[in-house]
């Protein structure tokens, strides 16, 4: 269930990245978007400020906060994907339809752990267990350590660095949308999805086609 949820969240982020990049390509055909972006240095500075640890985050949608807490063992995200921990939780929070990438198939993809990222999944499971036991407040130090996964941190920091470099090199208006889509969103989604990979052993094999019978081979057997 952990893999199913994190891969659904990653697909959601990548879906938004697709929209930003489609917008960038569309804007590229507009004359106004091919003009020099004014105040680019100040824009980059604002983005850098938002990336600093402790920077204020955007407020949650109204009514979302109560849904981020729940009584111990009161939720069943396996049966209700819109519950906290479920693959459609964030779609339900925003009251919109399911993200297109997540909803392509009614049958969820089977996932298995990426063997190089097993530690990250262990950390997720440990934090989830503390959350389920309503013990995160009394174990804040442990939670902070668990959330500080080195491989994930390095991946996110590289995405952030590439976003800053892309915006530093941006000259035209449409290029900012591309930078945000590629590095601010897509790279982050890829970092998230790296903990799992499709379980090919769970896929239905395509039956081998029967060998065709040719007229020449038929005549040779006569």
Task: List helix spans (H) across 33-149.
Answer: 40-50, 89-94, 118-132, 140-147
Highest mean pLDDT among 56-65, 69-78, 131-140, 200-209 belongs to 131-140
In order of 68, 87, 110, 111, the CA distances from 4 in angstroms are: 19, 7, 8, 7
- Residue 70 main-chain phi, psi, to 5 deg: -155, 155
Q: What is the mean pLDDT of residues 151-179?
A: 95
> pTM, whole model, 2 decimals?
0.71
Beta strands in the chain (DSSP E): 111-113, 196-198
């Amino acid at each position: 269930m952990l893999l199913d949820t994190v891969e659904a969240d990653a697909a959601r982020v990548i879906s938004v990245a697709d929209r930003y990049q489609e917008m960038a390509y569309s804007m590229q055909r507009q004359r106004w978007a091919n003009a020099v972006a004014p105040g680019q240095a100040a824009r980059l500075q604002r983005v850098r400020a938002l990336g600093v640890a402790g920077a204020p985050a955007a407020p949650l949608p109204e009514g979302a906060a109560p849904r981020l807490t729940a009584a111990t063992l009161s939720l069943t995200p396996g049966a209700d994907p819109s519950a906290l921990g479920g693959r459609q939780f964030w779609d339900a929070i925003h009251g919109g339809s399911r993200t297109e990438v997540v909803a392509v198939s009614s049958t969820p993809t089977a996932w298995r752990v990426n063997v190089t990222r097993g530690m990250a999944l262990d950390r997720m499971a440990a934090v989830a267990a503390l959350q389920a036991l309503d013990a995160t407040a009394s174990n804040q130090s442990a939670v902070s350590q668990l959330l500080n996964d080195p491989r994930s941190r390095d991946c996110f920091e590289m995405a952030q660095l590439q976003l800053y470099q892309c915006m530093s090199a941006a000259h035209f208006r449409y290029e900012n949308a591309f930078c945000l889509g590629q590095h601010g969103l897509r790279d982050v989604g890829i970092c998230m999805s790296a903990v799992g990979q499709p379980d090919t052993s769970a896929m239905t094999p395509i039956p081998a086609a029967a060998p065709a019978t040719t007229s020449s081979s038929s005549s040779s057997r006569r």
